[in-house]
Chains A and B, each alone.
Chain A
Amino acid sequence: MSSSHPPIDPAQATDPIRATDNCRYCLMCRHVCPVGEVTKLESLSPHGWALTIASQRRGLIEWNTDSVGALYHCADCGLCRANCVTDQPLPNAIVAARNQVVESGLAPRPLYTLADALAHWGNPYAEQMPVQPTGAGEVALFVGDEAMYRWPAALEAATRLLEIIGIKPVLVGRGRNNGYLASSLGFAAVAHDLIAATIAEVAAVGARRLLVLAPADLYAFGDLAGERLQLKLPEGVVLEAVTDVLDNALQAGQLALRHAEQLAAWAYVDPTHSARIGRSGDAPRRLGAALGGEPLELFWRRERAHPSGATALRFSLPHMAYLLAQARLQDAQRQGAQIVVTEAPGDLAILSEVAPRLGMRVQGLYELLASQLV
């Protein structure tokens, strides 16, 4: 029986960059790429990056300021792969190309400084070492750097909510990046060390459940760790989103909430990386709805949820990150929302930087829930 397509290149299994040979001429995820949506440029869209990398391999272009600049425009949000019928790992291929660029010393200079900070301090925000966990317990909660330095209210509220339903987690990764940032920018070794350090803490405290505040952490300790760095959580440890835990408690009647009167015309923003982990987004919506009224829905939501800019772009191309944040807020505005709600500390931080320019407000979901506890 004859085949309808060429055999898959076996080298693709070991060399992630070869995925670009599949993606370079495929346009099937063009419509979901947030960077392509903002820039409208083919060269800054999934097939554009794939063709650029594939062409560099073929000697048609070299890595230089222009081509490296294009390569670093990818948000590494995973929308392309999440919407690919054949699950082409293009984001990993782009990151693998960035790894090569970094090793060749051709990445933008500020990124090396950033990587040094991540390697030394574990975060890009403060010259402070991560706080070591104290005590031991079945349940750990990963704090990270964004909840520590950028949006601490989320951590405070989330721990309060968890306590109400009888969960008192051991805090791990306090002040340490989840590894995504370094990985995304092409610093694989730094990413490896950051994730390995958190995994070691989880093992040391004896946790069987690792709770996280944001989809970004689910991605970092799940697919990213496994696919890009060959790391995995200690045997038997279950990774869970705090929103899922709270939603289960709400459904079970363990969490009682008052209606929030000030919440007229609000929209829920699926946090960055929601789509790539296949999250339905039902749990945070149900939690939000328990405060009174269904949230308004963005056009770019759920399986097509665009990132809000809380990606490595914040450091490599800040203007692009802000454009993405602005696009989320404008999307919400078009649906009639004045307030956007989300739970991820990184998303909250960047959205709140842009929102005042548009006359909008940003509310943390955990804080909102905690403020309405009965």
Chain B
Amino acid sequence: MYGSTFGHQMVQSELEEIVGANYVRADEVSRLVYSTDWSWMPQMWLDRGQPTPQPDFIVHPGSAEEIAEILRIANKYHIPVVPWGGGSGTQGGAAPVYGGIIVDTKRLNRILNIDEKSLTVTAQAGVIGTQLEWALNERGLTLPHYPASANCATVGGYLAPRGTGTISTKYGKAEDMVLSMQVVLPNGEIVRTPVVPQHAAGPDWFRLFLGAEGTFGIITEATLQVDYMPESRLLRAVLFSSLTDALEAGRLMMTRRLQPFVIRLYDPASTASVVHEILGYDFEGAYMVIGFDGDPDIAALQEQKAMEICVGLGARDLGRERGEKWWAHRYDFYYPPQTLKLPWMYGTTETVTTYDKIEALYWAQKRAIEETYRAQKIRYIGHFSHWFHWGAMLYSRFIIEQPPADAQEALALHNRVWNTAMTAVIDNGGMINEHHGIGLKLARFMRRQYGESWPFLLRIKETLDPNGIMNPGKTGF
């Protein structure tokens, strides 16, 4: 019924009865704009004048209860539902490839409570990151999740793909900040996870929804841990001639628990391109920015220890100004025309693994991409930006400046490059993603990533969403 004009109108009427006619859109412009998120594939498709798969309806619910009703209707008619926060995903996670209903959560935009004693904020899922940050800043607080997408991404969008921000090295990923959530399950049930995550009252089921990218339900509210605005932030830049030494310096800073809030290590190719273009520095080697924050005395001591490590491994101290300039302009990389943009072909093939494997993985991925696509004059750049006690994240990117003009050929080549990049990741002990999520782009690699465990994940999906309505085609489901 849903596929017919008659059925379409019936569904629209039912949706309007839930949220009001003003909050259901099916006009040409809205369907076009919601047909692409921040991923290269649909953007390229539209750039070449090709229509993308479009949603049938864009619905703006004002409460979890309304979302529950929408999902009941979607189940009744077996209509795909795609949750939408800010549309800033790079993996096609919000692309409505099977049409259906986009549930835009931005009307869920209330900050419900700021607890200045426990240092938590409870917010609805549709609050935009920067707006939440401004509100916290007025109380001297900060949510220490600083993704480049904060100006458009929502709280729900922070959590659903397990996002990471610039200062994650000290403060953790978005998922590490969440205490509890309200989630609407695919069948319309509304559940609340326990009030705190660290307990022993049964398994850690709330994490099921982190990284599920809306395939297990829609996050509608979250309580997040916040911090005081740091008293001080010390930034410094160093230059290594050897990437190996630079990686070792990062490892030592982390394993000795010096608590840098940032270690941003650019590989030589990025140092020569990105750092040169945005910051205006001409360095050969691996440019690294390190930062320490909080109590100024402690931060200064931590920085001193870190510098001893770096200098001991042959780094050249570039001083504070070159670190501060990077911090001041850290998001400039993401504004056009400074960001990667069409007509180029590009992709962020980021990964994460343990220290014993990370450098080998970098070289393996770089070699595989550069050698396989030499004819296409592919470029490979990378930086290491999220560090853990046990390993680091490699933010690698490929760029082809003159991709095929034909949209289908371009998409096919894009997919081949990703195959090469992800094969190198899996073969070298990495995870196929660290923080952008799986979305559409990496869905086909999930089975390989999880191997024997994949059927277990599939059974969870089938139990929670037996009709497969939630964000179909994403995260491998």
Contact = CB atoms under 8 A, between A and B. Distances in A.
Q: A and B: partners?
A: yes
Interface of A: 1-6, 8, 21-23, 25-32, 40-43, 47-48, 51-52, 55, 58-61, 64, 66-67, 70, 84-86, 88, 299, 304
14 contacts: A1-B272, A1-B273, A2-B379, A3-B277, A4-B381, A6-B341, A21-B342, A27-B86, A30-B128, A31-B130, A31-B150, A43-B32, A51-B33, A61-B32
B10 interface: no
B353 to A, nearest CB: 26
A27 B151 contact: yes
A32 B274 CA distance: 27
B255 interface: no
A52 B36 contact: no
Pairs of residues from A and B, 3 with the lowest C-beta to C-beta distance, nearest first:
A27-B152, A22-B336, A30-B152
B125 to A, nearest CB: 13
Nearest to B329: A85
Given A1-B272, A55-B46, A6 B32 contact: no
A86 B335 contact: yes
Contact size range, B: 35 or more
Interface stretch (B103-111, B257-265, B455-463): B103-111
Given A2-B272, A4-B277, A29 B104 contact: no
B49 interface: yes
B47 A48 contact: no
B28 A66 contact: yes
A28 B332 CA distance: 10
B97 to A, nearest CB: 17
B60 interface: yes
B464 to A, nearest CB: 27
A30 B49 CA distance: 24
A20 B107 CA distance: 27
Given A30-B128, A31-B131, A55-B46, A43 B30 contact: yes
Given A27-B151, A41-B58, A86-B338, 9 more contacts: A4-B340, A30-B128, A31-B150, A40-B107, A42-B33, A47-B33, A51-B36, A85-B335, A88-B336
B363 interface: no
Contact of B335 (A2, A28, A31, A40): A28
Contact of A48 (B33, B331, B337, B338): B33
A300 to B, nearest CB: 9
Contacts of B332: 85-86
A66 to B, nearest CB: 5
Nearest to B60: A40
Interface string B264-294: 0000010011101110000000000000000
Given A5-B338, A28-B334, A43-B34, A299 B135 contact: yes
B134 A299 contact: yes
Contacts of A5: 277, 336-341, 344
B51 interface: yes
A26 B336 contact: yes
B46 A58 contact: yes
Given A40-B109, A42-B104, A55 B277 contact: no
B33 A40 contact: no
A25 B38 contact: yes
B196 interface: no
A28 B151 contact: yes
Contacts of B51: 60
Contacts of B135: 299
Interface string B14-50: 0000000000010111101110101000010011010
B32 A52 contact: yes
A5 B379 CA distance: 12
A242 to B, nearest CB: 30
A60 B46 contact: yes
A61 B46 CA distance: 11
B401 interface: yes
Q: Which of the listed residues B36, B269, B277, B335 has the most CB atoms from chain A within 10 Å of its own CB? A: B335
A80 to B, nearest CB: 11
Given A48-B33, A55-B46, A58-B46, A86 B336 contact: yes
A367 B441 CA distance: 60
A85 B34 contact: no
Q: Which of the listed residues B47, B107, B343 has the most CB atoms from chain A within 10 Å of its own CB? A: B47
Contacts of A26: 335-336, 339
A43 B335 contact: no
Contacts of B58: 41
Contacts of A61: 28-29, 32
A257 B87 CA distance: 51
Given A61-B32, A299-B135, A29 B151 contact: yes
Contacts of A47: 33
Contact of B337 (A6, A41, A42): A6
Given A1-B272, A8-B337, A40-B109, A28 B152 contact: yes
B169 interface: no
A42 B339 contact: no
B180 interface: no
Contacts of B339: 5, 26
Contacts of B129: 31
B223 interface: no
Interface string B365-383: 0000000000000010100
Contact of A4 (B30, B128, B134, B278): B278
Nearest to A6: B344
A25 B36 contact: yes
B88 interface: yes
A58 B149 CA distance: 27
Contacts of B152: 27-28, 30-31
A298 to B, nearest CB: 11
Contacts of A59: 49
Given A2-B273, A2-B379, A58-B49, A30 B337 contact: no
B29 A86 contact: no
Contacts of B32: 43, 51-52, 55, 60-61
Contacts of A21: 342
A4 B273 contact: yes
A2 B277 CA distance: 9
Contacts of B38: 25, 27
A197 to B, nearest CB: 36
Given A84-B335, A88-B336, A31 B273 contact: no
A181 to B, nearest CB: 24
A28 B134 CA distance: 15
Nearest to A2: B273
Contacts of A27: 38, 86-88, 149, 151-152
A61 B30 CA distance: 11
B87 A42 contact: yes
Contacts of B338: 4-5, 85-86
Nearest to A297: B138
A48 B29 contact: yes
Q: Which of the listed residues A32, A41, A47 has the most CB atoms from chain B within 10 Å of its own CB? A: A41
Contact of A86 (B134, B273, B337): B337
Contact of A52 (B29, B47, B269): B29
Interface in B120-163: 126, 128-131, 134-135, 149-152
